[in-house]
Amino acid sequence: MTDPATAKHDHRQPRPAPIARIPFIRITSFVLLSNCTRTWNVRVSPLAAVLVAFLTLLAPGCTGRGSLQRHEFTRLCMGVQARIVLFAENSQTASSAAALTFHRLAELDGCMSDYRPASELMQLCRNAGQPPTPVSQDLFDILSEAFQISRATGGAFDPTIGPCVALWRAARRSGQPPTPEELQIAHSLVDWRLLELDANACTARLAKPGMKLDLGGIAKGFAADRGVRFLRTQGIDRCLVALAGDIAVGDPPPDKKGWSIEVPGLPVPLILRNCAVSTSGDAEQSFDSQGRHVSHIIDPRTGVGAPYRRQATTVAPRGEWADALSTAAYLLGPNETPSLEQAFPGTHFTIIDH
């Protein structure tokens, strides 16, 4: 997400010599322009500035920066609490933008869920080992992000981890660890390189029968990111979309440098704008199996839930990066985060080992 406030302008164009020096004036909340909340530095004559100020005061429903109100909405989505916080001029604008965004999130869930048998993702899994399946642009986009992140993390993040996740979820419910044979079969089906994507045809294919995709480590961040993008198309730039701990933010609240986000374990809140933050760790979904600490994040090298007592928080320019890279950073640990920061420009990792 590009921050319009920091976007660079091209100054190489030759400019005509100024007729007279015109003072630099900062215009905030310019009512005649569509986006009332931005600040522009422009050269205008003092007379024009007075005229603008006058028109601004006269304009019906004059809506300066001060008149933007904070609105918050929550709903269950993707199996977690989804939260939208946005600044809008009135509650009607806010509610309809939020309702449309929740609808967009539900649409993404219908495409990427591994819980809904009818989802596009599950249809693709049922076709494993068969010819390529045409997929929607949304599903193609998240699969292609997942594939690239798998490659860049040396397979620590692996969206084909599904068979092992299913095994360890069952073990957690029953209290019985999988047998070595069950583990061996499930593990033999995990390999992100066997996810075949064709951007021209917009198709995907899992090369081996029995393979199963699990986007649980990337889908919420992707959806939060797309939620913010969607709100922008509705003219709402100052917004936050959170799916549990996967959070994407747009422009900051009026008169603030950023959104204040509290991350458990961090001493001070993060102040963020136009980026995303996610946290992964063993704190909430781990269990003990035969005296071994097993987290819900599976080490793709072994097919077993990783034993680390650790939290990885990632700030990234894109929601899917923040989400998937936190999962990878939990597995890779603090020694690997400098190379992740290099491979994914604009990312920042904080690892806490307990």
CA 301, 302, 304, 310 dihedral sign is negative
- The Cα-based distances of 55 to 24, 26, 49, 82, 173 in angstroms read 20, 16, 10, 40, 66
| Contact flag: residue 280 with ligand ADP (CB under 6 A) | yes
HSE-up of 60 (CA within 13 Å, CB side)?
Answer: 0
Pick the binder of ligand ADP from 98, 135, 165, 351 (CB under 6 A): 165
Instruction: Provide the minimum distance between the beta carbon of 7 and ligand ADP in the complex, in angstroms, as a whole number.
Output: 31
Beta strands in 185-334 (DSSP E): 195-198, 203-206, 239-243, 246-249, 259-261, 270-272, 275-281, 287-289, 292-294, 298-299, 304-305, 310-316
Tokens coding 238: 């100052």
Judged by CB under 5 A, the stretch of 40-48, 54-62, 112-120, 213-221 that binds Mg ion is 213-221
Pick the binder of ligand ADP from 177, 245, 303, 319 (CB under 6 A): 245
| Contact flag: residue 327 with Mg ion (CB under 5 A) | yes
Distance CA 247, CA 277 (A): 5
End-to-end alpha carbon distance in the chain: 33
Distance CA 144, CA 106 (A): 21
Instruction: Provide the minimum distance between the beta carbon of 217 and ligand ADP in the complex, in angstroms, as a whole number.
Output: 3
Pick the binder of ligand ADP from 30, 87, 147, 157 (CB under 6 A): 157
Write each residue from 201 to 220 as x if it is in contact with ligand ADP (CB under 6 A), else as -, in one continuous string: -------------x-xx---
| Contact flag: residue 276 with ligand ADP (CB under 6 A) | no
Residue closest to 312 by CA, chosen among 343, 266, 248? 266
| Contact flag: residue 37 with Mg ion (CB under 5 A) | no
Pick the binder of Mg ion from 29, 101, 279, 326 (CB under 5 A): 326
| Contact flag: residue 282 with ligand ADP (CB under 6 A) | no
Residues 6+ apart with CB under 8 A from 117: none
Q: What is the DSSP letter of 209?
A: T
Pick the binder of ligand ADP from 212, 296, 310, 318 (CB under 6 A): 296
Residue 214 binding: pick among Mg ion, ligand ADP, none (C-beta 5-8 Å cut-off by kind): ligand ADP
**Binding region for Mg ion (CB under 5 A):** 217, 280, 323, 326-327
**Binding region for ligand ADP (CB under 6 A):** 157-159, 161, 165, 214, 216-217, 245, 280, 285, 296-298, 300, 323, 326-327
